Amino acid sequence: SLFRLKDLEVAKLGDSDVHVKMLAAPINPADINMIQGTYAILSPLPAVGGNEGVGEVLEVGHRVTALKPGDWVIPAGAGLGTWRTQGVFPEEMLLKVPSDIPVLCAATLSVNPCTAYRMLTDFETLAPGDSVIQNAANSGVGQAVIQIAKAFGVKTINVVRDRPDLPKLVERLMALGADHVITEEMLRKPEMKDIFKSIPKPRLALNCVGGKSTTEMLRHLQPKGTMVTYGGMAKQPVMVPVSAFIFRDVRLRGFWMTQWRKDHAQDQESLAGMMDTLYQLIRRGQLAAPACTEVPLQDYKAALEATMKPFTSSKQILLL
């Protein structure tokens, strides 16, 4: 195994540093990819894993103005290394979050709901009654897309892989506000026409899989619609029929939350606007944490194994 649980000295608190006691941190697929060395950011080793989580401020250096002991913080970017009980971080690497939102919501906020929000707002101007289609709909991003779209009045068509407990999954996604949940196989069935009797064809498709799934999803996109790729779980390229480009002029785009944060580092308004919207949705009960399994840090091996299993419907959250 690439992992060890180690006791380390907490670094000395510098003038612009913040001493944080971590509360909870999820294990995301991208965290695993980073460790396997198949991701675009790689930390120099030895490194602490984890890109997401929430902590409580214990102490701040005397130049720190925006944070005080007792505040809750989440990472401002990727690569923080959240799988630890305590850490000392420069102030600019942290983002204050309200402590009146549930701890699991805060712990899972900085990657998936932000990704979902940006993809729903940055590529197509969606109005209430419009629809989006997405694959891997039971992923962390997928669950956030369903809930945020619902709050915006946008309909969702959600594609999942067929599995033994499919009815249970369908029920869970419908309870989150999904309008339709279908399997990959159904994408190429004539019954798809029935869905489009009640809702318009999607202007936006969100792709986290690649391969056949993407090509099938693209068929249902409106002319001049956009497909945004933000993951490639099938490890296969995105294949697009020439006719989709020529006769329907579809657009293919990519999205990576880490890049968005870099591009908007000077644009505090965009970030604050997004975060405020997400806090409001959480407070109104319109955006919940994904289905979670809480695991004490010492059981991290079991949590990592569970994350790698196929058809995981629950996110492993390390309790620190």
The CA distance from 214 to 150, in Å, is 23
Three-state DSSP class for residue 57: strand
Q: Where are the beta strands (DSSP E) in 72-188?
A: 72-75, 86-90, 94-97, 131-134, 155-160, 180-183
Output the CA–CA distances (angstroms, integers) from residue 55 to 12, 20, 172, in the order listed. 18, 6, 29
Range 208-235 burial, b when 16+ CB lie within 10 A, else e = bbbbebbbbbbebbbeebbbbbbbebbe
Closest CA to 58 of 17, 108, 117, 111: 17
Helices (H), ranges, 158-230:
166-176, 192-198, 212-218
Task: In whole angstroms, give the CA distance from residue 259 to residue 254.
Answer: 11
- Asked about 117 being catalytic, the answer comes back as no
Instruction: Identify the active-site residue in 39, 117, 230, 279.
Output: 39
User: Quick check: 82 and 262 in contact, CB under 8 A?
Assistant: no
Active site residues: 39
